[in-house]
Amino acid sequence: MSNAQKADPGLYDYLPYRNRPAIEWPDGKTCAVWVAPNLEFYELDPAVNPHRKSWAKPHPDVVGYAHRDHANRVSHWRMAEMMTKHGFPGSVSLSVALCDHIPEVVEDARQRGWEFFSHGIYNTRYSYGMDEAQERAIIEDSIATVERATGQRIRGWLAPALTHTPRTLDLIAEYGLDYTCDLYHDDQPTDVKVKSGNLTAIPYSLEVNDHYGFFIYNMSPREYADTLIRQYDRLADDGEQSGTVMCIPLHSYLIGQPHRIGAFESVLEHIAADGRAWITRAGDIVDRFREQIA
Amino acid sequence: MSLDPAYLEYPKRRRGMDHDYYPYSNFFERKPLQWPDAKKLLVWPVISLEYFPMVPSDDPFRAPGHMQTAYPDYRHYTAREYGTRIGIYRLLGAFEKVGARISVAINSVIAERYPELIRDIVAGGHEIIAHSTDMNGTIASGMDVAEERILIIRSLDALEKATGTRPRGWLSIARSQSFHTARLLVEAGVDYMCDWVNDELPYAFQTEAGPITNLPLNHELSDRQIINVQQQSVDSYTQQMTDAANWLIGEAETSGGRMMPMHLTPYIMGLPYRIAAFERLIADFAERPDIGFSRGDTIIDNWDAQQ
């Protein structure tokens, strides 16, 4: 890859927000809303990647590890039950080794009708520094592991801990995956330029990710809930012109804490009651988008 | 460029956890707990009582709240001392007004430096949890095991000497442990530790020397996290604690008794402009028949009797 290619990898075509072709969601809905719970497994004493540390502290990073383990023991169940109560399916960003470690959580998500995409093997193993064969190995591992555990063939990818290589998008497209959650340039789905196959960038979000809300922007639980409601209201308004997408990316060890989950319920109530939301899964959004641009 | 092939090997990828300290357990599939007096929620206040030497140690790491300027850092030294002179008494007063007995996690040098304070805490019926020696007594991997053992024993011995009672509980500074800490605590006769924040009730934690109970002191529900780290106001703090209590009481209706840790720092919550809101929170909780206050050791004993 030349330096010019590195500087501008040409991920997609520029498309101004004004005067875009209309994207239509089913039943005249204006905003496709999908919830992306990150169901993760972090290792207590992971192998060291030379390009990024797994934990801030020497292993064991007790607070870092235990905080995230709260997800599988306690807060997943709290969050999942609330999503189901209000009619929101999940599109799961999955550390696929969770299928091996704690199949109870994966099976719970499957039974709720949730969709799975890969978030790597563990959230403590990073793609930085991998050669092509190694990167293929984690994609193949992801496909096989999720298929074995859930019967689903994964359709999407969110890089483990958001660690990419310049090859990742081409490779996942080559393996037939349909969407990436790693590009943040738009409020609508976008075609990604890949060497082979088709790849759609679906709007995920870091800005309204609970991790950003609580630990980058330091919001209170009620401020975060209000943020999500404002995000939704604007996207539903904009979607009158051309359908928009809102993702609510969650980590149950954050949103499922007892001081946060109640405030979050008001968000689901608001969106469910509004009437303009197509509350669905990532793959459905990608399919509907592709039908219209084909 | 490629990674060491071992980076794509996962020797601990198996059913259950990637260690042997505790098995996986779904919080919502356990036998419901019954708390005394039919309480639905036990609030477990833990005040950290800390002494920061004016010469900080970075070995193995510098404790949160420690000195920051070139020597002499009068501003941080004295601002922390404000907590052990004034803030602690405001917090104790808030709990005494409602008759609550709580836990106080104490650096053992506090017992040597301020015996009057220790007498007041003991006289109030509060529990003392061992919290290292002073704020240079941090623990992390890389620390010599013999040194870590001495640190733990020195803390327990000094607190026992000052109070006549050996602490049953342990809280590490910043909840930071090495791979040896839990075993060393068992060997030192400690019944429970508060460092692992992965649960909302006690659970059994295995070590090579036998079991210890972990009583999770949720760092997310601490004044340090909400007020210092996330920069929220005390009014937001009291709202968050109230929301948490209400949520947990709702769960208790169907799933059994719940526990809410309340980790407090005298130099944070004990300030004049914050304490009134905190006192109102405590008074509100005290008026609710479904909420009780508890010491950590009492929660452990109640839980243990129902296992």
- Annotated domain spans of chain A: 22-293
- The confidence score (pLDDT) of residue B146 equals 98
> How much is the average pLDDT of B292-303?
98
How do the domains of chain B map onto residue ranges? 33-305
**Is the separation of the CB atoms in B237 and B226 below 8 Å?**
yes
User: Do the beta carbons of residue A232 and residue A246 sit within 8 Å?
Assistant: yes
At residue A294 the predicted structure's pLDDT band, cuts being 50, 70 and 90, is: low
Of B1, B179, B243, the CB nearest to A60: B179
**What does the angle CA B157 – CA B158 – CA B162 come to, to the nearest 5 degrees?**
115
The maximal CA–CA distance of chain A, rounded, in angstroms, is: 53
Each residue of A53-95: pLDDT tens digit?
Answer: 999 999 999 999 999 999 999 999 999 999 999 999 999 999 9
Distance from CA of B3 to the nearest CA of A (A): 5
CB-based contact A63 B220, cutoff 8 Å: no
The number of residues making up chain B comes to: 307
Class of domain B33-305 (CATH, top level):
alpha beta
How confident is the model over B80-101, as a mean pLDDT?
Answer: 98
When the candidates are 2.120.10.30, 3.20.20.370, 3.40.50.720, 3.40.1280.10, the CATH number that belongs to A22-293 is 3.20.20.370
pLDDT at B271 over 90: yes
For residue A244, pLDDT beyond 80: yes
Residues of B in contact with A261 (CB under 8 A): 247
Please identify among residues 59-118 of chain B the ones whose CB lies closer than 8 Å to any CB of chain A: 60-61
* ipTM surpasses cut 0.90: yes
Burial profile B48-60: b = 16 or more Cβ within 10 angstroms, e = fewer? bbbbbeeebbeeb
Band the pLDDT of A1: cuts 50, 70, 90.
confident
Is pTM beyond 0.80 here?
Answer: yes
What is the maximum alpha-carbon separation in chain B? 65
| Averaged pLDDT for residues B203-226 | 98
B276 has pLDDT over 80: yes
Query: Does B111 have pLDDT greater than 80?
Result: yes
**A176 CB burial (10 A radius; 0-12, 13-18, 19+):** middle
Question: How many other C-beta atoms are found inside a 10 Å radius of the C-beta of residue B288?
Answer: 14
- Mean pLDDT value across chain B: 98
pLDDT (average), residues B42-57: 98
Task: Indicate the residue of A67, A130, A259 with minimum beta-carbon distance to B243.
Answer: A259
